[in-house]
Structure 1
Amino acid sequence: MNRSRLTLSLALLTVPLAAAQTVAPAPLSVPGDLRPDAPELASRGQYAVGVRTLNLVNKGQLDIVKAPKEGAIPRYDRPLTVEVWYPAPGVSGSGSVLYRDVLGSGPNDPKRPNTPFETPGRATRDVAALQGGPFPLVILSHGYPGSRYLMSYLGENLASKGYVVASIDHTDSTHADKAAFASTLANRALDDTFVISEMARLGTAGSGSFLSNVVNADQTGIVGYSMGGYGALNAAGAGYGPQMAPLVPGGALTQRQAGNFTVDPRIKAVVAFAPWGGDAAVKGIGVNFGGKYGFWEDAGLANLKVPTLFVVGDRDDVSYYEGGVKPLFENAVNAERYLLVYQNALHNSAPNPPPAASLSNYDDYMHYAEPAWDMTRLNNLNQHFVTAFLNLKLKGQADAATYLNVPVPVSNNAKYSRNADGTPKADDTYWKGFKDRTARGIELYKLMPK
């Protein structure tokens, strides 16, 4: 040890114990905070954020988990826990909260036990809602398994910008209660539309709810990840093909086939992160019922008429890109749609960064992480592009389109060319909202209805 290190070590040993205990801990890393290279719309909005937990019950639903091999499926009152983020009085980013969740892949899995962990946030629990609305509604729908906190960074961010965000714990599909996959297949879109109706009810004048006059469910967007994307597309009109009916007992999936349901007119936009089910072979379910586009045929995709933003990694190994999400984007011919591609990303384009509790378990860690990307960077990009899309489609802010209608679709090919005062030169093709050298590894495409 050199003399300077020895002197420093001896000095540290002489610090009184009481003084050492008063040293402030390092600040927690909060999902949704910005890296210095974050694009313009990633930042939090003008509002402080409140958060509350709702316990809703959708009565008389088919109990797919308890379906017998033969005969009628029993019915039950389906519980749904929903986390609601909303604009609140106060200073933007001023709140502090801990979201309590568990890791794992369902109960009683010895390889991935339900390990508790906490995710910090910048919201205030149970505070009154701001009365400056009503604000558009956003439904957040997690993957399988997942939780209502899986995308807390995005829920808080959107609430700070004037949205009410309802994030669903889909029963039978969370880390804590994962059950028969058929329940997830049958219930995702039904959960989404039920929660929209409940939020509308709570938002009416005189409802007695903290959401009274706060939420405008007539302007609703659904943001779904993986199985959440699968359900969001269906809720917005993309009916499943009849070949998929055998995957759910009692033909329960037939109610979500093309032509068998009416699209909720309150749904005005969809963001589908790595939506599962578009691969023609529908890999991972043990059978090959898949149609032309997995769960979808041309007729089903043609019924998707809601503006849709698809987000996917071009190396997605769960929902797939070339044979999965990209064909959905290309063949939803009656919708205005965008395709945001993260180069070299796998399936985890949407979640919070990996919690510290996941570092000792490879499978839990890889449930959150992207090997080729920093997750905070991905979160910031999602905040930027989802904000632009929802501001355009739910709030009618025409200038938001300039962040989506990029001059060149591959960001690596964009040219940053500015005058001394920062204004663009004639040959500038850089993406709006990105600082020099920061639009890298991203692609963005747009197709209009035929």
Structure 2
Amino acid sequence: MIRIRRTAAAAALALVLPLPVVAAGQAMAAPMSAPFIAASSNPNLHADLPSPTGPHAVGREILHFVDEHRRDPWVPSAGPRQLMVSLYYPARPGTGGPAPYMTTEAARLMLQMKLPGTTIPAEAVSRTRTWAHSGARPEHGRFPLVLLSPGFTMPRTELTSLAEDLASRGYVVALVDHTYENSGTTFPDGRTLTCAICDKPPAGGSGVVAESRAKDISFVIDELTGRRHPRRWYAQMIDAGRIGMAGHSLGGAAAVPTMATDKRVRAGVNLDGTMDAPVPAAGLGGRPFMLVGHDMGGVVDPTWASAWAKLDGWKRWLTVSGSNHGSFTDVPILAEKLGIPEPPGTTISAHRSVQITRAYVGAFFDLHLRGIREPVLDGPSAAFPEVEVRR
């Protein structure tokens, strides 16, 4: 069963909550209802992502990887599995040019899936202001690698603000699109491939999709760290002994099967994803893991309770009051600019939700990949009273 952690009151807000709970075999839930469709057709409308908080300028490259040893699991006739990756990295200031948020066609398809009938122009999303620069010269040095996986049906761009912030703090960040699992992925030849499994999830549901994503992530690690291409410039930037993974919704749930099958991933974060691919009975070999979720009004996701009991290393369970399922992504920033209301019960602003997500995910990787002590992870913080920390 494909599902996410969410509250029933927000069922209609399909852009803010990318994938509501569905019964096994059903199609994805209904799109946003008519009263919530923004009517602006201003061609100059666009959102601005919050500026990164770290000391480094940020570069970005778009990479196309082809796994010749694995046929695409969702569209076998397409041939080898192909993936698009946005690679963010610490860069030299003043180099490169502005990096676009996403292609106009990918933005159009996302709006079509999430807000059918809306008059919002695709350019309002594709022109979202980012802080990264395409073609920027990389900083000297070797940096930890963090892989990011988006929620089911959502393009990789939903985690851009997190990726930019981590890169500004001294990480190389690989933001992965999982082909045929989202509204649209644009390839170098101009094709934008749409979702093949959104309306008809595969047998086995989200657990099977999460396991497929684990294979995607391991392949991307192979490509980035030089096992096959040691002379690529980014392989020289990455410290292959310090690798972590985080993701939102199904992308967060995929961190568990990734860590279970790939020992190179030393630490993982699940941002509000139901864990239908369970933690192995033997745990994750003592490696650290963090759960970050929205407040479900006292209801506990049973997959999280089960995972918590099996996690055998450093662990934290964070609950962010006033948040919703999309609060850990760029979606609230886009929704605010486009005039789309947050789900009922949401009390934190779009910028505050980005601030919290960046602070805690960054602290987690600083602690476990760089050895920097982060007291914010140890209990209540006056700077973040919305966050409950369970040890």
TM-score (norm 2): 0.73
Instruction: Verify the 8 A CA contact 2:211 2:257 in the aligned structure 1.
Output: no
| Residue matched to 1:271 | 269
SS in 1 for 2:74: helix
Report whether the alignment pairs 1:385 with 2:360.
yes
Deviation per CA, 1:372-407: give whole Å up to 9, x if none.
32121011011111111101101112x22x22112x
Residue 111 of structure 1 is aligned with which of 107, 116, 134? 116
| Residue matched to 1:355 | 334
Which segment drifts farther, 220-229 or 300-309? 300-309
User: 1:122 deviation in Å?
Assistant: 0.9
Report whether the alignment pairs 1:338 with 2:316.
yes
Which segment drifts farther, 343-352 or 226-235? 343-352
Instruction: Verify the 8 A CA contact 1:307 1:393 in the aligned structure 2.
Output: yes
| Residue matched to 1:178 | 195
Count the aligned residue pairs.
323
User: 1:300 deviation in Å?
Assistant: 3.9
User: C-alpha distance in 1, partners of 2:259/2:90?
Assistant: 26
Instruction: Verify the 8 A CA contact 2:244 2:267 in the aligned structure 1.
Output: yes
User: C-alpha distance in 1, partners of 2:237/2:244?
Assistant: 16
User: C-alpha distance in 2, partners of 1:345/1:332?
Assistant: 26
User: C-alpha distance in 2, partners of 1:203/1:216?
Assistant: 16
Counterpart AA for 1:313: H
| Residue matched to 2:66 | 57
Q: Which runs of 5+ in 2 are unaligned?
A: 1-43, 185-193, 203-207
User: C-alpha distance in 1, partners of 2:291/2:134?
Assistant: 32
- Between the two structures, name the one with larger relative contact order (CA 8 Å, sep ≥ 6): 2
| Residue matched to 2:215 | 190
Counterpart AA for 1:52: E
User: 1:339 deviation in Å?
Assistant: 1.0
User: 1:201 deviation in Å?
Assistant: 1.4
Deviation per CA, 1:244-274: give whole Å up to 9, x if none.
xxxxxxxxxxxxxxxxxxx322211101101
Q: Measured at CA, do residues 135 and 110 of structure 1 come closer, stay the same or move farther in structure 2, by a change above 3 Å?
A: closer
User: C-alpha distance in 2, partners of 1:202/1:128?
Assistant: 23
SS in 2 for 1:138: strand
Instruction: Verify the 8 A CA contact 2:158 2:329 in the aligned structure 1.
Output: yes
The equivalences for 1:109-258 within 5 A come to: 111=116, 116=122, 117-118=125-126, 119-131=128-140, 133-176=141-184, 177-180=194-197, 181-182=201-202, 184-201=209-226, 207=231, 209-237=232-260
User: C-alpha distance in 2, partners of 1:335/1:175?
Assistant: 36
Q: Measured at CA, do residues 311 and 274 of structure 1 come closer, stay the same or move farther in structure 2, by a change above 3 Å?
A: same
User: C-alpha distance in 1, partners of 2:112/2:234?
Assistant: 34
User: 1:65 deviation in Å?
Assistant: 2.7
User: C-alpha distance in 1, partners of 2:116/2:47?
Assistant: 27
Q: Measured at CA, do residues 112 and 233 of structure 1 come closer, stay the same or move farther in structure 2, by a change above 3 Å?
A: farther
| Residue matched to 1:98 | 100
User: C-alpha distance in 2, partners of 1:160/1:202?
Assistant: 26
Instruction: Verify the 8 A CA contact 2:49 2:333 in the aligned structure 1.
Output: no
Instruction: Verify the 8 A CA contact 1:140 1:166 in the aligned structure 2.
Output: yes
Residue 296 of structure 1 is aligned with which of 262, 268, 278? 278
Instruction: Verify the 8 A CA contact 2:149 2:251 in the aligned structure 1.
Output: yes
Q: Which runs of 5+ in 1 are unaligned?
A: 1-25, 34-42, 68-73, 238-262, 278-293, 412-430
User: C-alpha distance in 2, partners of 1:214/1:89?
Assistant: 13
SS in 2 for 1:65: coil
User: 1:110 deviation in Å?
Assistant: 8.4
User: 1:296 deviation in Å?
Assistant: 2.6
User: C-alpha distance in 2, partners of 1:97/1:106?
Assistant: 21
Instruction: Verify the 8 A CA contact 1:138 1:164 in the aligned structure 2.
Output: yes
Residue 30 of structure 1 is aligned with which of 34, 43, 48? 48
User: 1:66 deviation in Å?
Assistant: 4.2
User: 1:112 deviation in Å?
Assistant: 6.7
User: C-alpha distance in 2, partners of 1:187/1:347?
Assistant: 23
User: C-alpha distance in 2, partners of 1:345/1:384?
Assistant: 15
Counterpart AA for 2:74: V
Residue 86 of structure 2 is aligned with which of 83, 86, 93? 83
Counterpart AA for 2:107: V
Structure index of larger Rg:
1
Instruction: Verify the 8 A CA contact 2:47 2:333 in the aligned structure 1.
Output: no
| Residue matched to 1:4 | none
| Residue matched to 2:34 | none
SS in 1 for 2:327: coil
User: C-alpha distance in 2, partners of 1:46/1:123?
Assistant: 13
Deviation per CA, 1:37-70: give whole Å up to 9, x if none.
xxxxxx6211111001000111232443347xxx
| Residue matched to 2:33 | none
